[in-house]
Amino acid sequence: MTVEPLVPPAPGTPPCGPPTFAPDTGWTVTRHADVRAVLLDPACRVPVAGDGPPGTLAGLRGLASRFSDADRHPARRALGVAALAPLDPDELRHEAARETSAVLDRAGGRLDVTGALARRVPLRVLAARLGLADPDAAVPAVAAVAAAWHPGADRTRIVAADRAVEVLSSMVPAGSPEARANRLGLLVQACDATAGLIGSAVRHGLALPLVVSTADLVAEVLRLDPPVRGTRRVVTAATRVAGSDLAVGDPVLLRFDAANRDPVVFADPDRRRPGRPDGVLTFGAGPRGCPGERLASALAAGVVSVLRRRCRLVHDPGDHEPHPLLRVPRRIDLTVRAAGAGGEAETVAAMEEVR
């Protein structure tokens, strides 16, 4: 009987236990049931971004559903959901696989997954499907905005993001300012999260036998090594979580990485076991849950399915781009089989898997 390998939690992952409070940082919530309860609690709300000038990072954040208050969030979220509605996960998966194969054919025998594929392919495919006029030019612009998307970015990144928002604003289809902003917000939120998912799937699954489906691999990586490690809330009305009283104004940090290893929900949680029942919280839950969960997983699976068949790991430094809650491998080097040396047949097999 095969015993699945142990995959220890990433450095900095807190233990799964009751909510804890620290005067300087507020509450940290780690158990699966408690994280889900906070996500569904209307008293715990997303920190809101203020309005900003049109055509700037602040202006984009101010209109995006991700940073909107409870009154404006439903209508703005609906705009993003409507933009995603025509997209077919199977078609996205197939196109991501096709574009990955094309990149490998040009790679010259070796490539860095993060630099060559993890952002580029999913963003280009998604930008094209969302109607941006120049998907290739959209990729670096979206990446620049994503680098400053969350609070705390330095001035240099904010200035670069402002320039990138101008570029993206010239590409996005016509519509109301809110509709345009939330279409761009979908791309920004997909950027680092999908890149991190692809990198972690390569790291944890490139050597797995192909009898393990890529979809199951991606789903288990979302649990074991989530690209989004947590999210923040602020208490707006006194509430209670797992016996703890949360006061108005308290900050709350929800740790998906810990909740996804809760032994109450996931048996033997530190073992890699593709094909587990669902229950992962990486995409959130409730009215703020990610509307693009199936699409992001499909894009990642399309890329990874080809890499599993045509690539081998050469060097993985094991480090990540600096961010408190995102986990994107800085670099992972692979060797690539040329299409004329078995790569073509393996690419065809990968394309068949994602249909």
Integer Rg of the chain from CA: 20
Smallest Cα–Cα separation from 70: which of 289, 291, 292, 287? 287
Q: pLDDT digits over 229-269, tens only?
A: 999 999 999 999 999 999 999 999 999 999 999 999 999 99
Asked whether residue 317 carries a pLDDT value surpassing 60, the answer given is yes
AA letter at 33: A
Q: Which residue has the tokens 């080809």?
A: 306
Q: Are the C-beta atoms of 33 and 264 separated by less than 8 Å?
A: yes
Q: What is the DSSP string of 198-238?
A: HHHHHHHHTTS-TTS-HHHHHHHHHHHS-SB-EEEEEESS-
Instruction: Spell out a b/e string for 324-340, using b for 16 or more CB atoms within 10 Å of the CB, else e.
Output: ebbbbbebbbbebbeee
Q: pLDDT digits over 144-171, tens only?
A: 999 999 988 999 999 999 999 999 999 9
DSSP conformation class of 148: T
Q: pLDDT digits over 131-141, tens only?
A: 999 999 999 99
Q: Which residue has the tokens 């649990």?
A: 223
Can you tell me the distance from the alpha carbon of 180 to that of 63, in angstroms, rounded to the nearest whole number? 9
Distances (CA, A) of 145 to 150, 173, 193: 10, 18, 14
Can you tell me the distance from the alpha carbon of 160 to that of 99, in angstroms, rounded to the nearest whole number? 28
- 254 DSSP β-pair partners: 29, 231
The CA-to-CA distance between both ends of the chain, in Å, stands at 31
Mean pLDDT of 185-203: 97
Can you tell me the distance from the alpha carbon of 265 to that of 276, in angstroms, rounded to the nearest whole number? 11
AA letter at 113: V
Can you tell me the distance from the alpha carbon of 158 to that of 191, in angstroms, rounded to the nearest whole number? 17
Provide the CB-side half-sphere exposure for 252 (13 A, CA).
31
How does residue 3 score in pLDDT terms, banded at 50, 70 and 90? low
Can you tell me the distance from the alpha carbon of 295 to that of 106, in angstroms, rounded to the nearest whole number? 26
Other beta carbons within 10 angstroms of residue 110's beta carbon come to 13
Asked whether residue 72 carries a pLDDT value surpassing 50, the answer given is yes
Can you tell me the distance from the alpha carbon of 134 to that of 231, in angstroms, rounded to the nearest whole number? 32
- All structural domains of the chain: 27-259+279-353 (1.10.630.10)
Smallest Cα–Cα separation from 184: which of 127, 119, 122? 127
Asked whether residue 355 carries a pLDDT value surpassing 80, the answer given is no
Can you tell me the distance from the alpha carbon of 169 to that of 240, in angstroms, rounded to the nearest whole number? 43
The first and second tokens of residue 232, run together, are 């923040």
Asked whether residue 101 carries a pLDDT value surpassing 50, the answer given is yes
Q: Enter the pTM of the model.
A: 0.94
